[in-house]
Amino acid sequence: MKIVQAVGWYFPESLGGTEVYVAALCRAFAAAGHTVMVAAPDPAGHAERCYSHDGIPVYRYPIPSRPTRAEAQGAVVRGAERFHQWLARQQADVVHLHTFVTGLGLPELHAARASGATAIVTTHSSSLGFLCARGTLMQWGEFPCDGVSAPVKCAACALEQRGLPRAVSTAIASMPLRFARAASSVRGPVGTALSMRDVIQRNIDRQRELVATANRFVVLTDGARQILRANGFGNGTVVVNRLGVALDSASSVRRPRRNPKSPITVGYVGRFDAIKGVEVLARAATMLDRDLPIAIEFRGPVQSAGERAVRDRLRSIAGGDSRVRFADAVPHERIAEVLGEYDALCCPAICFEGGPTVALEAQAVGTPVVGSRLGGLAEIVEDGVTGRLVPPNDPRGLAAALAEIARDPEHTIDRWRANAPTPRTMSQVAADYLHLYESCATR
């Protein structure tokens, strides 16, 4: 088969979990004898470009770095027509879309179907397509949402995220739909705010079109499938293919025993992004007794002003506590080694994630996970057996969990390590996708 993997961003500019996932799929498909290519929009580019990453051809098409409101809300993006033309020339058997961002959305899904290919969509984000305008599936950013899209509820939550007081957000969201629709022609932030209810309604329509257009709509957890069912998308189009890891030599880095004389080391490995819950972890650290034998390490890339600002904010919260330290991002070829050095990995996300992948990678090397009872973590960590789950966005609850493992590592860390589960592999994930591709073949 000829397979195109389309993703919202890719190496070398971006190094996140979705990119690692797509790269692992490409390696597995190529090893199975299939022709594989990657395509991704390039908001920093001025022309089409082609290069190779990990032996796989990559095609990048330029889109505006500053899209219009209409483009950001799903209209055809300037430059994306080049991708449509490229798809028509490739005549791929399968076009697999991962994530929906500016320049890779419904128009591109339709272009894939128009090329004659089987179109598969996998959603890696908390939005699950277009269901959550806030992008976290956390109501008001405070507690898990039921995921049911409703224009007034969702518009108010999205406006509150943009800085409006909750009462004002609710009042604007409650405006009749005809007024919100008329406000869509108003320029600037005022127009965006007044038209938010209309945006949510159109997102609901886009989600319906998305699921109807794709040959299969793939989610990463049972929880995500249940949310889609609650929104009326319970037909056979929606399937689950859980995350896997690509650590072929994970067992070789498992530490046999914890050093009882050393402080407990807890690591956070990932982006410096508020939705990852990094501030929750930093605040939890400030609540720990000074005599607790524990060290907390943050490791992640700092490539943008936003990431730098978040990291600096964490340092400010930590207030010079010597137990809290910061280190460089981990190259993926060293991820097993680094995770194996921690006594526990902390995943304090305040968004509904499909994994995260790093939690599975930690389990693969025998490192237990302490994290939020939310999304994929709630399905891969057995509380009190293989790790600890705490309510999301709860620094005090997380601090209690960290204090528990620091005071009694023998009955927490050591026992959890002994019960470490064996996660799925990306080879299994790829095999499931190949079966799915073949069962949906249209060319």
Residue 261: per-residue pLDDT: 72
Q: What is the DSSP letter of 55?
A: T
Residue 108 domain-assigned (yes or no) = yes
Exposure string (b/e) for 72-110, b if CB count within 10 Å is 16 or more?
Answer: ebbbbbebbebbbebbeebebbbbbbbbbbbbbbbbbbe
pLDDT tens for residues 325-382? 999 999 888 999 999 999 999 999 999 999 899 999 999 999 999 999 999 999 999 9
What CA–CA distance (Å, rounded) separates 305 from 267? 23
Neighbours of 226 (CB within 10 A): 14
Q: What is the mean pLDDT of residues 253-272?
A: 80
pLDDT tens for residues 33-61? 999 999 999 998 889 999 999 999 999 99
**344 phi and psi, to 5 degrees?**
-155, 150
Residue 16 domain-assigned (yes or no) = yes
Residue 238 domain-assigned (yes or no) = yes
Residue 303: per-residue pLDDT: 85
Shared-domain flag, residues 174 and 259: no
- What is residue 325's three-state secondary structure? strand
Residue type, 280: V
Shared-domain flag, residues 31 and 148: no
Residue 82 domain-assigned (yes or no) = yes
What CA–CA distance (Å, rounded) separates 415 from 343? 12
Residue 129 domain-assigned (yes or no) = no
Segments forming the whole domain that contains residue 233: 2-122+214-244+426-439
Shared-domain flag, residues 229 and 260: no
pLDDT tens for residues 387-423? 999 999 999 999 999 999 999 999 999 999 999 999 9
Shared-domain flag, residues 104 and 174: no
In the numeric block, the tokens 């005071």 are attached to 407
Exposure string (b/e) for 414-437, b if CB count within 10 Å is 16 or more?
Answer: bebbeebbebbbbbebbebbbebb
The angle subtended at Cα 324 by Cα 405 and Cα 402, nearest 5°, is: 15
| Token reading at 114 | 């128009």
Residue 318 domain-assigned (yes or no) = yes
DSSP H or E segment with residue 37: strand 35-42
pLDDT tens for residues 76-122? 899 999 999 999 999 999 999 998 899 999 999 999 999 999 999 99
Shared-domain flag, residues 332 and 430: no
**162 phi and psi, to 5 degrees?**
-85, 10
Shared-domain flag, residues 413 and 276: yes
Residue 26 domain-assigned (yes or no) = yes
Shared-domain flag, residues 171 and 40: no
What CA–CA distance (Å, rounded) separates 55 from 420? 34
Interacting residues of 215 by C-beta distance below 8 A, sequence separation 6+: 118, 119, 120, 237, 440, 442
Would you call 328 exposed, middle or buried from its count of C-beta atoms within 10 A (0-12, 13-18, 19+)? exposed
Q: What is the mean pLDDT of residues 58-69?
A: 92
Residue 184: per-residue pLDDT: 84
Shared-domain flag, residues 230 and 285: no
Q: Which is nearest to 310 in space by CA: 356, 265, 270, 369?
A: 270
- What is residue 344's three-state secondary structure? strand
The per-residue pLDDT of the chain, averaged, comes to 93
Residue 353 domain-assigned (yes or no) = yes
Neighbours of 35 (CB within 10 A): 15
Shared-domain flag, residues 7 and 152: no
Shared-domain flag, residues 232 and 325: no
Interacting residues of 361 by C-beta distance below 8 A, sequence separation 6+: 245, 247, 250, 335, 336, 339, 423
Q: Among positive and negative, which fits the CA dihedral 141, 142, 146, 148? A: negative
Shared-domain flag, residues 308 and 388: yes
Shared-domain flag, residues 389 and 327: yes
Residue 319: per-residue pLDDT: 94
Give the pLDDT band of residue 442 (cuts 50, 70, 90). Answer: low
pLDDT tens for residues 190-212? 998 999 999 999 999 999 999 99
**212 phi and psi, to 5 degrees?**
-75, -30
Query: Looking at the 3D structure of the chain, how many domains does it have?
Result: 3
CATH of the domain at 238: 3.40.50.2000
Residue 430: per-residue pLDDT: 98
